[in-house]
A and B are shown apart, each in its own frame.
Chain A
């Protein structure tokens, strides 16, 4: 039988990087509008570069007739594609509202376009995580 603990110092230790409101808001804003999390944290240069990179990849993907995945794809790969696509935040919702990327083109360029769309979203997830780290103070 385990002995009851007698240690009185079981109080949760103070976290090294306490969670602030900005550490929650910045990644959310950054996800919704690529680069906006960094801009909110006054990292203007980084924010603009992230915005340009993610938006350009997304638009090039659409221009190459890439397909936008829907949430109810059914197939596991479709669900993973949706998770990648939704990383682009507002761009994804705008594309769904305006019915962009609703194509079934079966050529190599369309396949590259689909990859561009997914990777744009995944890169935006990384950017949002970076905004979170900056807001926490883990990164300058």
Chain B
């Protein structure tokens, strides 16, 4: 079976699973874990957009 993901979708899937593990392992209470997971996910995806725009600007 072959999975074809674009660079962006691969980055989002990566961010999703990494954020779940970070949330569970780095915080104690359930609420803190959810918050930290969402925070990590936002940072991952925000980083993707930031890097994307930076590369687009460099390319011009």
Interface of A with B (CB < 8 Å)? Answer: 46, 49-50, 53-54, 56-57, 60, 63-65, 108-109, 112, 115-116, 119-120, 123, 126-127, 129-130, 139-140
B58 to chain A, nearest CB (A): 19
When each residue 1-30 of chain B gets 1 if its CB lies under 8 Å from chain A and 0 otherwise, what string results? 111110100100110011011101100110
Report whether over half of chain B's contact residues are helix, strand or loop; otherwise say mixed.
helix
Whether B14 pairs with A116 at a CB distance below 8 angstroms is yes
User: What CA separation (Å) do A82 and B17 show in the bound complex?
Assistant: 21
| Interface bracket on B | 10 to 19
Residue pair B7, A112 in contact (C-beta under 8 Å):
yes
Contact A65 B28 (CB under 8 A): no
**Are B10's CB and A112's CB within 8 A?**
yes
Interface positions of B (Cβ within 8 A of A): 1-5, 7, 10, 13-14, 17-18, 20-22, 24-25, 28-29
Binding site of A, secondary structure by majority: helix, strand, loop or mixed? helix
Q: A60-B3, A64-B10 are in contact. Are A119 and B24 (CB under 8 A)?
A: no
**Pairwise interchain contact B21-A54, C-beta atoms closer than 8 A:** yes
B10 cross-chain contacts in A, Cβ below 8 A: 64, 109, 112, 116
Known: A50-B20, A63-B3. 18 other contacts (CB 8 A): A53-B18, A53-B21, A54-B21, A57-B14, A60-B5, A63-B1, A64-B4, A65-B2, A108-B7, A112-B5, A123-B17, A123-B18, A126-B25, A127-B21, A127-B24, A130-B24, A130-B25, A139-B28
